[in-house]
Amino acid sequence: MNLGLTSKTAVVTGASIGIGRAIAKGLAAEGVRVVGVARRTDLLAELVKEAGSGLITPFEQDVMAKDAAERIAAFAVKELGHVDILINNAGGSRPLPVDAPDSKWDEAIALNFTSYRRIAHALLPQMIERKWGRIVNITGKSEPEGLNAAFAAKAAVHAWAKGLSREIGEHGITINCIPPGRIMSEQIRRNYPPDYRERFAEEEIPVGYWGEPEDLAALAVFLASPVARYITGTVIPVDGGLRRYQF
């Protein structure tokens, strides 16, 4: 399928590893010029080399840094001329005890929700001016096993994105969320040994295996394309059937 992405432009946060890296490479493969944002310059340099087309420009930036959203937007617009697509991917799990201090909650919300909102709102004016845009948020599951501040923050992203979709649709801009299931990553390999992963896949994942970042990237690239013009305000899991609820 021709997704019509050639010559589009994009910002991908958390682009150095895992899902963000796969999405950045997927967009570049479709002819999108990408600014890849992450903290680790060595991994960003490897990403640029792997893409091999000169379509990915690295930008070292911590999304939690002061004025990060404005800096990312300014750099991307200067580098690309304008930004058509935003992939909000930076984030991380934050399991907390019941008596965790407010500072721990504030950090988790800032990373997993506020940074998404700030970068999107920094880029929205030029999307509105051009009457076209795509925002894709990589979020998290809705079945927490225990208290995890990241899950609460990702739920906030879902609610924010749904509300925003009602405001920006008339400008040709869509916004959607993708909650990943068990997708193989640096963190997964570090925290879950192979025997656990195999047993979990057999017992809990209907397709019988853990996903790869490219499995999710395929949907993200589609949602970022002109072909997906009538899909907005949605939450679409990529989890091999792991979730048990029906809608």
Give the span between the Cα atoms of 174 and 232, in whole angstroms.
5
Q: Is 53 a domain residue?
A: yes
Q: Is 155 a domain residue?
A: yes
What is the structure's pLDDT at 165? 98
Q: Is 234 a domain residue?
A: no
Q: Which residues touch 85 (CB under 8 Å, ≥6 apart)?
A: 8, 9, 10, 11, 27, 32, 133, 134, 135, 136, 224
- What are the tens digits of pLDDT across the range 130-162? 999 999 999 987 677 889 999 999 999 999 999
What is the structure's pLDDT at 190? 86
Q: Is 190 helix (H, G, I), strand (E, B) or coil?
A: helix
Q: Is 201 a domain residue?
A: no
Q: Is 70 a domain residue?
A: yes
Burial readout 134-167 (b: 16 or more C-beta within 10 A, e: otherwise): bbbbbbbbeeeeeebbbbbbbbbbbebbbebbee
By the 10 Å C-beta count (0-12 exposed, 13-18 middle, 19+ buried), 48 is classed as buried
| First-residue to last-residue Cα distance in the chain | 28
Q: Is 132 a domain residue?
A: yes
pLDDT tens by residue, the chain, 247 residues: 899 999 999 999 999 999 999 999 999 999 999 999 999 999 999 999 999 888 999 999 999 998 999 999 999 999 999 999 999 998 888 989 999 999 999 999 999 999 999 999 999 999 999 999 999 999 987 677 889 999 999 999 999 999 999 999 999 999 999 999 999 988 788 888 999 999 999 999 999 999 999 999 999 999 999 999 999 999 999 999 998 887 6
Range of the domain at 34: 9-183+215-228
109 alpha carbon, distance to own chain's centre: 16
- Domain CATH code at residue 131: 3.40.50.720
Total number of domains in the chain: 1
Q: Is 238 a domain residue?
A: no
- Range list of H helices, 59-193: 68-80, 102-109, 115-130, 149-168, 186-191
The answer to whether 89 and 14 are in contact (CB under 8 A) is yes
What is the structure's pLDDT at 247? 65
> Can you spell out the DSSP letters for 82-101?
S--EEEE------B--TT--
pTM over 0.85: yes
Q: Is 2 a domain residue?
A: no
What is the structure's pLDDT at 66? 87
Task: Name beta bridge partners: 165.
Answer: none
Residue whose pair of structure tokens reads 């916004």 in the numeric block: 175
Give the span between the Cα atoms of 90 and 68, in whole angstroms.
12
Q: Is 18 helix (H, G, I), strand (E, B) or coil?
A: helix
What is the structure's pLDDT at 227? 98
